[in-house]
Amino acid sequence: MSSTLHSRLLQLQSRFTWDLKKEDIDLENLSTRLQDHIDLQLGERGAVTRTYSFLAYVRYLQGRPAEAVSLLKQSEEKIGECYGKENEQRLIVMYGDLAWLKYHTGDYTQSHSYCQRVDDILLKYPAGSSTDLHPEVYGEKGWTYLKFLKSYYPKAIDCFRKALEVQPDDREWNAGYAIALYRTEPEPRFLETSMEDGESPAIKQLRRALEINPDDGVLLSMLALKLNAYQKHQEAEDLVERALKIGPDNPHVMRYIAKYLRIQGEDERSIDLLKRALKRTNQSAFIHHQLALCYKKKKIAEQKSKPFNKQKVKQWRRLCIQHLEEAVKIKTTFVLAIADLAQLYGEEKNLIRAEELFQQGLRNLSETDKSICQVFYLRYADFHHYNTKQEAEAIDLYTKGLHLTTKTWEWKQCAKRLKEIAERRLSISVDDDQAYGLLALVAKAEGDKKKAAEFYEKALDCDENKDEYLSALCELRMELQG
């Protein structure tokens, strides 16, 4: 029976069949975030029911199946309270999860029973085709991907799109789609093409979601941040005021508004708001990181003042470190916080701790997120360049940042540092082939192929036996000719 049952289970739509790789995620951090959503009753009416189900799956991964079953039972109860019998399709994934859980605990009879319940719903409410899923399943899948890990965001976008094809006016799917686009869309300065009407896909979808649900404080605050990035300051300011009135105690609203205020230079208001948010949810790595960024701004401002107060600089740095340590403790894969913290320890000459953190960051670095990689490579390269004086390591890391073609501020800094290193070396010796090689690398990255070729020629004049220079030069000449 178990083999037949297992074959049936594999056909179910369930978190157990959605290829959610537990080795990719910090389960403790995810568990804390989901528990916060339940305790604070955050999100739409269906959000809490989904959160119970998702937390149940996490509890299973943590080796706590009894708790998992209990949470799924609570999810079933909450679905009944929210929707009554009007939407049995919302039970499909939850029953699928229960069927898998019962199977893993050896209760094959109950597992089969939940499989049958799914079959009954599918028979009663057939999908459009054998390959289509119900919009409720697409939606649940989308929210799961959205909360699981950043690398799953594209999958979340695809699921929400498919749900909206069937239910275009659903507030939950529209909100999920808007949030997914907000999180994946680059800032205007990183976009390769400009928007004709100044409205990016994320802005358009946020507006659409707010048409359906105008009192969603999180969506209002996200739209404010997006509009501010596109220089639409007055509308952004109005949305901020609305969001604060609607969700004054919602930690998600507070953290986005605090980010907006920090960008606007209102650091004290931002700090006050983030401190309030921490009282509601003190296990938020994001909020601790945002607070650290506020204190970092104060530290930098003090360092620029003449004369500056060393004690105040130290005070702001210690507050930065305190909150970044908390952020990294809560979320051990938080690469940006890890890089910021390592940089601060470098400033304090605690090179051992800084190197430990940079190695931790490297282990969690995903090449798919180029902007984060660039920030990390620049921080780590600067650490070697200015703190450890290991120039070869610094050059290697600056070069990695340069090879990520998105031309962020960090990309420009990597190019600038490589030029400075090369020019300093040439001031010592005009026959430094490596220095010319670096200048060629930067010129090519900046799009000046002719200048890059000239630098490679100079590098070969210094050392004619370097195959890498000859190969690069030949490639450039072919591109220039063709």
Residue 335, helix vs strand vs coil: helix
Tokens at 474, concatenated: 């030949």
Question: Cis peptide leading into 307, omega within 30 of 0?
Answer: yes
Helices then strands, each counted (H, E), the chain: 24, 0
Residue 176: closest CA among 221, 134, 133, 219? 219
Low-confidence ranges of the chain (pLDDT < 70): 1, 43-44, 130, 189-198, 367-368, 405-406, 482
Residues in the chain: 482
Condensed to tens digits (0 to 9), the pLDDT of residues 77-94 reads 988 888 877 778 999 999
CA 283/CA 263 separation, integer angstroms = 23
Contact 167/46 with Cβ under 8 angstroms? no
Going from N- to C-terminal start, the domains of the chain cover: 1-126, 284-351, 429-481
Query: So what's the pLDDT on residue 470?
Result: 85
Query: So what's the pLDDT on residue 192?
Result: 45
Query: So what's the pLDDT on residue 379?
Result: 97
Same fold yes or no, 1-126 and 429-481: yes
Specify the CATH class of 1-126 in words: mainly alpha
CATH number of 429-481: 1.25.40.10
The 10 Å Cβ neighbour count of residue 437 is 22
CA 271/CA 267 separation, integer angstroms = 6
Query: So what's the pLDDT on residue 335?
Result: 94
Query: So what's the pLDDT on residue 473?
Result: 87
Condensed to tens digits (0 to 9), the pLDDT of residues 293-311 reads 999 999 999 999 988 899 9
Model pTM? 0.87
| Burial of 449 from C-beta contacts in 10 A (0-12 / 13-18 / 19+) | middle
Query: So what's the pLDDT on residue 128?
Result: 75
